[in-house]
Amino acid sequence: MNDDLDGMIRQALGAEHAELFDQYGEPSLPEMVVDSFRGRTRWLVALTFVSIAVFTILAGVCAYQLYMATEVKELIAWAVATIFCLIAVSMMKIWYWMELNKHAIMREFKRVELQLASAVNRRPTKGE
């Protein structure tokens, strides 16, 4: 469905606008990740990536300690710590995916804005 819509948009646009459409088209996932480090919140994205790495390592250490624990209190403590670390990683990943989604939506708005601006510039005036 998306390919059909893109094809219809390309047909409706002229040759020069079709090139702009291709240039500002939908980026791949690696391009979106790299672009997230170029925005205004790049420090927050970098902090999130570091936090995800730290909490993943902590989850591994806690899981190992859980496996090695012999007393019930230790088992409960290490299980809670493992679950906490895994939930923290999950929440940070969800936040990051929401950021990628926000950037994709903003990119689409800008594409529509560009098309609208070019349509307004092409519109004949009343005197013509």
Mean pLDDT of 81-85: 97
First-last CA distance in the chain? 38
Residue 5: DSSP 8-state? H
**Could you tell me which residue, 31 or 25, shows the higher pLDDT?**
31
What is the share, in percent, of the chain residues with pLDDT greater than 70? 76
Please tell me the total count of domains within the chain: 1
Distance separating alpha carbons of residues 24 and 39, to the nearest angstrom: 17
Which structural domain range is residue 91 located in? 29-122
In a domain, 34, yes or no: yes
**Could you tell me which residue, 44 or 24, shows the higher pLDDT?**
44
Q: Closest by alpha carbon to 118, among 16, 28, 50, 36? A: 16
pLDDT of residue 72: 95
Q: Closest by alpha carbon to 9, among 126, 119, 98, 103? A: 119
pTM of the predicted model as reported, rounded to 2 decimal places: 0.70
In a domain, 8, yes or no: no
Tell whether the model's pLDDT for residue 90 goes beyond 90: yes
pLDDT of residue 12: 65
